[in-house]
């Protein structure tokens, strides 16, 4: 009897499942089908493995903005847009109506009350404090010194070991860049160097926990709220992964805070230290010294927010940039010629590292980095929700129960924004006829956010990117392993799904 029942159920369900599968993929080049009850959720999950490309397909067909309808039993409708007018309206001209809000904070609850989740007075206070610290001349010198030392004493030795291996060893550059930015960010934020980028390439539980947390947060954007909350309550799937990752993150950060408090108390003689003292340049020291009443929970949230901002965005940008340059020889040559222009002729055939001041004003290098960020923004999407109902410039209605999602990845590929060659890697589009860097409005080029929430670390990021990129491009030849699959992952940070597997050889002896 039981066997008969199973066969009966299978006869009914299998054709339905097959029809659903075929229908979802039949629409791969069209707009999602709005199913009864479940809305467009089946189409979303059919294309989840290529979600960034799917956004490009949909927004091209829809003219830049599309209303993605969620299940009728959940308030999960999403307006997806790549329209600069909509983004300017949301991020600038109507900024007050688009706070992060409680729903955003719940999705990103692992970040606590840090600056990424904060609104109103809390956000203004944190931003003012962060700006004062990050833009201070002493911190900038600390950044340059930290970056230079990490390149010289960690990145170069690892690359030299790879080059000297006669077997033509394959290395994952994405992993090296993540280790590099994790180490430098730890130094800048906490004052401690975990030494993850070393010849032995040790295991990094904290870094792995960040990756797992970001993947789980992405899934919260895809699932109806009731479903991911059920996962969290029952403790399975990506929510279990997030819970496990949070334990690791909290444990490591707690040790940093405890050690820093002990270090400061042992070194104090009199009043608080001033930013600029040699032992007091990292952000954690500054926050403890300037805000004596900050508790460990507040410091934990601040550290984690800065760690994600510093480690993930810069390493993602470096990975995609080096891949693009290594696969575009004409761009690579122009960057090398420009680098040669700032060093003595007799030094051009020797291993050479570049100081921040040497590469700061290099126009073509800056243009190539901007072009890479346009095509592969480290944060590929953002979401907002209006506090009060509005009609967007595109004509779409948005109520408080809806999400508005910007696809930065799609924006870089829209012909009506960047022209018919929008899909090409073309640094020249960032250079004016006078040979200077061309400015593009932030609501068109959103890699560093826009409006009042424009990224405070933009100059910090460009300093690191230029120093590392110059060292690699000038001294080494990067060859991507033949047949290696380069495709975006599915996460809130745009990494390569399978890493960047390359062979590295010396250019100069």
pLDDT in tens, 191-235: 999 999 987 888 888 888 988 998 899 888 878 888 889 999 899
Say what the pLDDT of residue 351 is: 87
DSSP 379: S
**Integer angstrom CA distances of residue 490 from 147, 219, 303, 367, 471:** 29, 9, 25, 27, 30
Closest C-alpha among 141, 351, 434 to residue 343:
351
Buried b (16+ CB within 10 A) or exposed e, 273-298: bebeeeebbbbbbbbbbeeeeeeeeb
Say what the pLDDT of residue 291 is: 65
Helix, strand, coil % over all residues of the chain, rounded to 5: 60, 10, 35
Question: What's the CA angle centered on 39, arms 18 and 49, to 5 degrees?
Answer: 60
Say what the pLDDT of residue 420 is: 96
Say what the pLDDT of residue 15 is: 47
- Looking at the DSSP bridge assignments, the partners of residue 505 are 477
- Rounded CA-CA distance 12/437 in Å is 62
Q: Please tell me whether the overall predicted TM-score, pTM, comes out greater than 0.85 for this model.
A: yes
Q: Give the tokens for residue 367.
A: 């243009």
Say what the pLDDT of residue 29 is: 47
Q: Give the tokens for residue 378.
A: 């480290």
- Rounded CA-CA distance 158/174 in Å is 13
Each residue's pLDDT tens digit, 256-281: 999 999 888 887 533 333 333 445 58
Q: Give the tokens for residue 311.
A: 């480690």
Q: Mark out the alpha helices in 394-508 (DSSP H runs).
A: 408-411, 415-418, 458-475
Say what the pLDDT of residue 5 is: 47
For 83, the 3-state DSSP assignment is coil
Give me the residues of the chain with pLDDT under 50, please.
2-10, 14-15, 18-19, 22, 24-26, 28-29, 269-278, 293
Domain spans in the chain, listed from the N-terminal domain onward: 74-506
DSSP 314: H
**Integer angstrom CA distances of residue 114 from 109, 118, 310, 450, 472:** 10, 6, 14, 19, 34
- Rounded CA-CA distance 304/213 in Å is 12
**Integer angstrom CA distances of residue 147 from 87, 96, 153, 456, 474:** 34, 37, 10, 18, 17
Q: Is position 455 annotated in a ligand binding site?
A: yes
Looking at the structure, give the CATH architecture of the domain made up of residues 74-506: Orthogonal Bundle (1.10)
DSSP 488: B
For 505, the 3-state DSSP assignment is strand
- Rounded CA-CA distance 73/90 in Å is 27
Say what the pLDDT of residue 273 is: 38
In the chain, how long is the greatest CA-to-CA distance? 88
């Amino acid at each position: 009897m039981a066997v008969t029942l199973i066969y009966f159920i299978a006869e009914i369900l299998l054709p339905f499942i097959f029809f659903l599968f075929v229908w979802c993929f039949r629409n791969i080049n069209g707009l999602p089908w709005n199913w009864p009850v479940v809305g467009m959720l089946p189409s979303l999950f059919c294309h989840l493995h290529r979600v960034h490309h799917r956004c490009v397909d949909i927004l091209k067909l829809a003219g830049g903005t599309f209303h993605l309808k969620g299940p009728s039993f959940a308030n999960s409708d999403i307006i997806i847009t790549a329209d600069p007018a909509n983004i300017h309206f949301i991020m600038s001209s109507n900024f007050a109506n688009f706070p992060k809000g409680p729903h955003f904070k719940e999705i990103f609850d692992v970040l606590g009350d840090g600056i990424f989740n904060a609104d109103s007075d809390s956000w203004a206070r944190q931003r003012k404090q962060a700006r004062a610290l990050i833009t201070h001349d002493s911190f900038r010198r600390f950044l340059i010194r930290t970056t230079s030392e990490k390149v010289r004493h960690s990145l170069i030795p690892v690359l030299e070991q790879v080059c000297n291996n006669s077997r033509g060893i394959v290395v994952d550059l994405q992993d090296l860049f993540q280790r590099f930015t994790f180490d430098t960010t730890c130094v800048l934020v906490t004052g401690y160097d975990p030494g993850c980028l070393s010849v032995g390439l040790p295991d990094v539980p904290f870094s792995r926990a960040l990756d797992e947390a970001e993947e789980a947060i992405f899934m919260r954007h895809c699932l109806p709220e009731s479903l991911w909350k059920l996962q969290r309550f029952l403790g399975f799937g990506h929510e279990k992964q997030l819970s496990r990752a949070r334990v690791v993150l909290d444990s490591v950060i707690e040790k940093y805070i405890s050690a820093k408090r002990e270090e400061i108390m042992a070194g104090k003689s009199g009043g608080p230290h001033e930013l600029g003292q040699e032992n007091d340049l990292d952000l954690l020291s500054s926050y403890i010294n300037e805000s004596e009443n900050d508790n460990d929970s507040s410091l934990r949230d601040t550290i984690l927010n800065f760690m994600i901002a510093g480690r993930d965005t810069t390493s993602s940008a470096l990975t995609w940039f080096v891949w693009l340059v290594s696969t575009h020889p004409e761009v690579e040559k122009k960057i090398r010629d420009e680098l040669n222009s700032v060093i003595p002729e007799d030094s051009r055939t020797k291993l050479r590292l570049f100081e921040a001041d040497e590469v700061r004003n290099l126009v073509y290098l800056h243009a190539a980095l901007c072009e890479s960020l346009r095509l592969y923004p480290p944060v590929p999407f953002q979401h907002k929700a209006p506090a009060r109902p509005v009609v967007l410039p595109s004509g779409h209605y948005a109520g408080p129960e809806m999400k508005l999602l910007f696809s930065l990845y799609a924006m870089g590929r829209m012909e009506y924004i960047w022209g018919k060659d929008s899909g090409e890697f073309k640094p020249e589009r960032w250079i004016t006829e006078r040979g200077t860097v061309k400015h593009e409005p932030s609501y068109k080029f959103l890699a560093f956010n826009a409006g009042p929430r424009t990224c405070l670390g933009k100059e910090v990021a460009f300093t690191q990117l230029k120093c590392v990129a110059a060292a690699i491009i000038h001294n080494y030849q990067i060859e991507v392993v033949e047949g290696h699959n380069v495709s975006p992952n599915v996460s809130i940070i745009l990494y390569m799904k399978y890493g960047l597997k390359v062979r590295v050889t010396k250019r100069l002896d």
